[in-house]
Amino acid sequence: MKFLIVGAGEVGFHIARRLAMENKDVVIVDKDQEALRKVSDHTDVQTVQGWGSSPAVLESAGIKEAEIMLAVTDSDETNLVACLTADVISPTTKKLARVRNSEFDALHDIFRENAPHIDTIINPEVEVVKTIEQLITVSGATEVEDLAEGRLKLVGIRLENHSALVGQRLADLSLKTGGSNLLVAAIIRNEKMIVPRGDSRLMPNDLVYFISEKAGLAGALKSFGKPMRQVKRVLIVGGGRVGTRLAMRLENSDIKVKIIEADADRCSMLAEKTSKTIVLHGDGSDQELLSEENINEMDVVASLTNDEQTNILISLLAKRMGAAGTITKISKLNYIPLISTIGIEQVVSSRLSAINSILQHIRKGKVLSAISLKGEQAEVIEAVALETSELVGAPLRKVSMPKGSLVVGVLRGDEIIVPSGDTVIEKDDRVIIFAQRNTIPKIEKLLSVKLEFF
């Protein structure tokens, strides 16, 4: 399976590295030789220097042999032109474009339906705003993701010393959680991923990923010592595209929103686009301004400027001044595993959101969603079990799942099943699989449409 990636920035680099680790055939195109050198130094992929929207460059990179093309440069226009050009040269190649400008939102369907067309348009800023809304709703979680249209939640929780679950075996977890219908999918301990078993014990400072029904989430969080709280006041620092989208979304709820923006012209635009948001012109790291705006009464402070160092500083300052919670936007993905060491847990990234969206569309089989877990050590994949899969028709304890993978949820119509070894998967069930990175090629074989698999 050949992939052609246009753009060797953070998103392109991480997707190329991920695919190369899975022994995929990858070609990456960029006009910047230094960016390509970084890719070559860290991944085993082919590089081509040139403009990704150039027909000659695309042909030399092998667009006609590529099954999937990803246009993920920092320029929306380059990504769109690259995909449209590729569709003329190689109509059978599946094309995905990363487009961030909200002015293109209304045109997504037009691009998909007309020739030349683009199969999928991904707006990472829309996805990251959804992630922020989830984190605002589920206080205390480091990550929250929807599965099965929101009926199930994948939640990451940092286990604190005082939690009643410290030292508990996973096999006994239901006794300690009041029978909550949850299943621990993974544990990260000392930056290492652990695939849990019944005799695994939870330890202080573990990052625990669990799957829960939406209806039982509040009880599950309470068991972990993270009771849900009602959010009434949110302060957004940074009125860029993400901050603006978030403010406009939150205005539709009962949450009172304030936004601080350093650029006066941007403030005027924000005042026109929003209706109930209070727009403040100033420096979000100014302690005097934060004190005047009663930061100690804020349920959440979301630091969403375009400078990640500023975002980190503001979040630390907000916590020190009494804000109940903080959310920090980070651009460089290699920063994310380090942030928790300085006391910042709720981190979002437009680039990570883009990667998760892209993974959903490039995985083999009938994949509905794919979520990359912290450090890109694993994925949680939601897929449809097709009739010929070896997963179907036998108890899970008799299915040869790759070591390092686990079926963590099964959805059958309106029924949600937390699986055990005796669970039998049926045709058209939705199956949620946790898979460490090295097992993903084998999981993909299970999810592929073949005579012996689904």
Question: How much of the chain is in helix, strand and coil states, percent to nearest 5?
Answer: 40, 25, 35
Alpha helices in 156-281 (DSSP H): 173-176, 217-223, 241-250, 264-273
| DSSP conformation letters of 91-137 | TTSEEEEE---GGGGGGHHHHHHSSS--SEEE-HHHHHHHHHHHHHH
Short-list 250, 308, 310, CA closest to 284: 310
Q: Give the 3-state secondary structure of residue 201.
A: strand
> 9-50: per-residue pLDDT in tens?
989 998 998 888 888 899 999 999 999 999 999 999 999 999
180: confidence class by pLDDT, cuts 50, 70, 90: low
Sheet (strand 430-436) strand order: 367-372, 378-384, 430-436, 405-412, 415-417
452 pLDDT higher than 60: no
CA dihedral of 98, 104, 108, 110, whole degrees rounded to 10: -130
Q: Which domains does the chain have, with CATH numbers?
A: 2-122 (3.40.50.720), 140-223 (3.30.70.1450), 233-352 (3.40.50.720), 363-447 (3.30.70.1450)
CB 106 within 8 A of CB 132: no
Which amino acid belongs to residue 415? E
Residues 352-410 pLDDT 10s: 888 888 887 887 667 788 888 865 678 898 988 888 777 888 899 888 888 889 898 89
Model-wide pTM > 0.75: yes
Helices (H) and strands (E) in the chain, counts: 15, 22
At 59 the pLDDT is 96
Residues 402-431 have pLDDT tens digits of: 888 989 889 998 888 888 889 999 999 999
- Distance CA(18)–CA(259), nearest Å, equals 36
